[in-house]
Amino acid sequence: MNDSSYTPPLGTGATADYDRAIRRWTRELRWREAMLTVLAAKPGETILDVGCGTGTFAVMLKMAQPGVTVIGIDPDEEALAIAETKARAAGVDIGWRRGFARDVEAASAHAVTSSLMFHQVPMAEKRAGLQAMRAALRPSGRLLIADYGRQTGLMRLLFRATIQRLDGVADTQPNADGVLPALISEAGFDDVRESVRIHTLTGTIALLTARRS
């Protein structure tokens, strides 16, 4: 897990600037609150947030539904340190683990979430990550992904000028071409749906849901 083996939270930018950038450029509250609504977590559920980064969604989730067990997984040590500080300041208890999406262990989670992670990872890791996430779910477990999906018109230009400058083209272009729903189906999930599309200054962020049969 060395620094060049993955793209860190803000790509070529500093991780310390990540939260401010996301707040300023992505209409963050809009899509994070949409995630909470679509996820509809219930007390007693265990939810894994894969590629949790600086922990904003994991903390929001635990604050919105204190009865859930939340585990955040990310390879980036600096991001996890920020996440831990954020959780402590919010007074919530979250399990943080260092690892890649493909390392997510088989388990019986009720739901797996992931935001803004898949556009940053190579095709092989998108596939391996989705397979591991499926194995981490119990039957009928839910998958919820919020990420840059198919980009069209102006959104494609904005995505190119912002996200692709920070994160490169190789890993991000398949997302912009709309590859995620097919990859989710290929990994064995059912009921793959796009429930929300939010246009931002950095491109369109889509919420995708699916279920483990």
How many residues belong to the site for ligand SAM (CB under 6 A)?
A: 24
Cα–Cα distance for residue pair 10/61, rounded to 1 Å: 22
CB of 171 vs ligand SAM, minimal distance in Å:
9
Cα–Cα distance for residue pair 103/22, rounded to 1 Å: 26
Of 34, 87, 121, 155, the residue at the interface with ligand SAM (CB under 6 A) is 121
Query: Is 51 one of the binding residues for ligand SAM (CB under 6 A)?
Result: yes
The contact mask relative to ligand SAM for 73-102 (x = CB under 6 A, - = no) is -xxx--x--------------------xx-
Name the burial class of residue 38, with classes exposed (0-12), middle (13-18) and buried (19+) by CB atoms within 10 angstroms of its CB.
Answer: middle
Q: How far apart are the first and last CA of the chain?
A: 32
b/e per residue 76-93 (b: at least 16 CB within 10 A): bebbbebbeebbeeeebe
| Position with the least CB separation from ligand SAM | 53
Q: Which CB sits closer to ligand SAM, 116 or 136? A: 116
Q: Given the rule CB under 6 A, which of 59-67, 115-123, 157-165, 187-195 is the region that contacts ligand SAM?
A: 115-123
Q: Which CB sits closer to ligand SAM, 99 or 178? A: 99
CB atoms within 10 A of CB 188: 13
Query: Is 147 one of the binding residues for ligand SAM (CB under 6 A)?
Result: no
Q: How far is CA 3 from CA 45, 96, 163, 191, in A?
A: 33, 19, 19, 36
Query: Is 56 one of the binding residues for ligand SAM (CB under 6 A)?
Result: yes
CB of 82 vs ligand SAM, minimal distance in Å:
10
Query: Is 60 one of the binding residues for ligand SAM (CB under 6 A)?
Result: no
Cα–Cα distance for residue pair 35/163, rounded to 1 Å: 21
Tell me the HSE value of 30 on the side-chain side, using a 13 A CA sphere. 14
Chain contacts with ligand SAM (rule: CB under 6 A) = 6-9, 22, 50-53, 56-57, 74-76, 79, 100-101, 115-117, 120-121, 125, 129
